[in-house]
Homo-oligomer: A and B are copies of this chain.
Amino acid sequence: MMKKYVYAFEEGNKEMKASLGGKGANLAEMKKIGLPVPDGFTITTEACNQYYVDGKKISENIQGQILDYLEKLEAKTGKLLGDPKDPLLVSVRSGAVFSMPGMMDTVLNLGLNDASVEGLAILTDNRRFAYDCYRRFIQMFGDVVLEIPKYKFDRVLDGQKEKMGYELDTQLNVEDFTHIIQEYKAIVKREKGFDFPMNPREQMMFAIEAVFNSWNNDRARVYRNYNDIPHDLGTAVNIQSMVFGNMGNTSGTGVAFTRNPSTGENVLFGEFLINAQGEDVVAGIRTPQKIDELKDVMPDVYVQFTEVADKLEAHYKDMQDIEFTVERGKLFMLQTRTGKRTAFAAVKVAVDMVESGVISKEEALLRVMPSQLDQLLHPMFDPAAIKGASPIAKGLPASPGAAYGKVFFHSEDVARHKENGDECILVRTETSPEDIEGMVAANGILTARGGMTSHAAVVARGMGKCCVAGCSEIFVDEEEKYFRVGDVIYKEGDYISLDGNSGNVYSGKLDTVEVALTGDFALLLSWADDVRTLGVRTNADTPRDAETAVKFGAEGIGLCRTEHMFFSEERILNVRRMILSGTLQERLEALKLLLPYQREDFIGIFKALGERPVTIRLLDPPLHEFVPHKEDEIRNLAEDLGQTYEFVKYKIDNLMEINPMLGHRGCRLAMTYPEIYEMQCIAIFEAAVHCKKDLGIDVKPEIMIPLVGHMKEFTELKGLVKKVADQIIGETDLTLDYKIGTMIEVPRAALIADEIAKEAEFFSFGTNDLTQMTLGFSRDDSGKFLPEYLKKNVFEKDPFETIDQNGVGKLVKMACELGRNTNATLKLGICGEHGGDPKSIDFCHKTGLNYVSCSPYRVPIARLAAAHAAIKNK
């Protein structure tokens, strides 16, 4: 039997997304439940993949199936594609499995040619409309299918308007269009070397190929990388008979969400344009009317539409994002899909739907993407700061949050400055898919045109990025790289601040404040806690971070880096004295001066954590990180230490390393200078004893020895820790529950985990370093090739963000199995940055770790991700 590559809408349903793509499956589903959907058919994603297998050719078999279905469509509509009398016109749209707004290309009015345009004119009794359609079609086809720069067409249109002295497009008449169409055709001939195709079936095949090709364009790849969508899914193509929203004032087109996608409020939310085609709304070229106003303009259609919207939400049990067109008073549904929403809205909708009994708690949890929560955890502007500042302009609050940064006007400028560590705001008249890279890199987006469903707004909300759209008070000149508000000019590099919740734009940098974890958000996370089995700890080095993390639900500290404590001003001199000392005696004296500071650090952290466990990593970085390297700083240090410049310089030079990542650091420092760890342990255990004895806190320190690669390192240093601990505890009548364990971050440690586990009470996977060593990628240097690797899809995701399961993950699994084999009670955790990454958290759950540890602001994300993992891997 021959593989089926094409389905009529009435043959499909919403479960067939993998084949039909999201759009196609939902068109079929709407058809199935009796909604008014123009007829059409879908070419499957398998056809797209086969197209690539066949060397970017649509096979004869597939072409045959397409033409069969076209004939069926012609039969159903009683029209023939491109018939000069009564032409069937179709739209050709992409439809991937996961919704990718604006990323794929669309062609409308396909089937028009020099003959059928006349048929359309007669049929609609509107010659001007027909010729407008035709010139739009050539323009869109030229741009999207033939890849001719759009401005070449725009220039002709603008030229004609200028020549005739018109101000508006609506002033153009049939003769103008006839002339414009001739010019357009000439452009095609000049640019491509062939005539604009007149054969409608040829037009269609061209367009289908263009959709297939667009699956692999750079914008699509960037979007998929950002959104974790695999690159090998392919896209479907939907061929649908056209309906026209631009047939005069009884026609129109619109987009609506069944609830407010910014706030989650349960009210219809959307926009429409009278006498317009769908793309006009999304492109943000004209500013549309609010959906409520449809009530006044077309009362019947409005009622019908609200009923359809309710039906769709009830049917899909989730907020829907709907596109519709009204052709001469008749409503047609062109698309429905799950509506993208802000994290805030996602939480509210999910909780509301549980409370109204529509979905279960587990479903609610799965409705909110952990990575989205980031948005709720980003600081907002300090109300005090806002009070003092008056906005320079106000736009639409298109995506919530607060952001400040230097303004840039081109995607590549944002990307470049972001790489240099600048905070950036992308400012554009309007955004288009070409701007994706800059939108990813920017802290916030400001546009002069476009509504709440414009490209900028939709994409920014998807990314959880602050966006102010349609800010018509500003004038943007991308060429000259400035924007103007009244008389005031803001140049590239000037700071502005955006408030995505109010739509306000401020000059300069505004202070931000933290957000609290309350209401629906707190409720949802409490459901997550009920479901998850993986513990969530935090990486925190200061009492302040520790308190924040506890507020966000951290169940302990998974990584407290002790070296950060060494850098503060009153300590660094003694740290340097210790490092540069020539004798053990000198070193001991310098360490003695550091001891009280370290003890205070630990008391602060223990207090913040209470009875929760605190994993403290003993000194890890190479010593040269603590000493200055510039001549004047070295001179100052020499003076402070009472040494000669030459001596200090010599000592510092001796500390330098070729590959510091693989050098004298971690437990290797303690193997050569055990007195450093000894001081740290004294500080830890004196602090612990103080907290327990004097403050009544039953602290639970867990001492972690970093960079262990050999059993003897661990046993020797465990001995040292134990000796100090037992001595300090022994001087009291307390018992103190403490553990000694190690980081698994050197590949060798994973390989001998069975040995180490005999002595260690816990392992914490330091997957940052483990990734560097297992892959042989220096994080500091991989910028030279990693972007190329991601582009070439060698790695699907940056292995420093999401754990490389086939490589690093294999070592982690091996270490877990080996470790538990010899020590069944071994506690396993992860403290690399992967501990806050949802995909990696799923891996940790499956691998059987006891907990993940991440930065304080990612704790809620990890709680939700751990719940997702528990539900998905049931």
Contacts and interface: CB of A to CB of B under 8 A. Distances in A.
A776 B746 contact: yes
A12 B784 CA distance: 69
A663 interface: yes
A712 B792 contact: yes
Given A710-B794, A746-B775, A785 B672 contact: yes
A778 B709 contact: no
Interface stretch (A455-463, A475-483, A506-514, A801-809): A801-809
A810 B752 CA distance: 9
A845 interface: no
B658 A660 contact: yes
A707 B776 contact: yes
A716 B792 contact: yes
Contact of A781 (B664, B772, B777, B781): B664
Given A776-B707, A781-B657, A789 B751 contact: no
B659 A781 contact: yes
Contacts of A659: 659-662, 772, 778, 780-781
Contacts of A793: 712
A668 interface: yes
A712 B794 contact: yes
A788 interface: yes
Interface in A736-763: 745-748, 751-752
Nearest to A707: B776
Given A785-B664, A785-B668, A807 B709 contact: yes
A810 B754 CA distance: 13
A582 to B, nearest CB: 16
A747 B789 CA distance: 18
Contacts of A781: 657-660, 662-664
A774 B773 contact: yes
B804 A775 contact: no
Contacts of A748: 774-776, 804, 807-808
Nearest to A657: B781
Contacts of A707: 776
A570 B784 CA distance: 29
A601 interface: no
A810 B789 CA distance: 29
Most interface-central of A707, A716, A745, A773 (chain B CB within 10 A): A773
Interface in A630-683: 657-664, 668, 671-672
Contacts of A792: 671, 712, 716
Interface in A711-739: 712-713, 716
Contacts of A657: 778, 780-781, 784
A660 B776 CA distance: 10
Contacts of A810: 751-752
Nearest to A712: B794
A713 B785 CA distance: 12
Nearest to A771: B748
A795 interface: yes
Nearest to A772: B662
17 contacts: A658-B780, A658-B781, A659-B781, A661-B661, A661-B776, A662-B662, A664-B781, A709-B776, A709-B807, A710-B807, A712-B792, A746-B776, A748-B804, A748-B808, A751-B774, A751-B807, A751-B810
Q: Considering the complex of A and B, which 9 residue pairs feature the smallest CB-CB distances, nearest first?
A: A662-B778, A659-B778, A748-B807, A658-B780, A663-B781, A664-B784, A746-B776, A657-B781, A659-B661
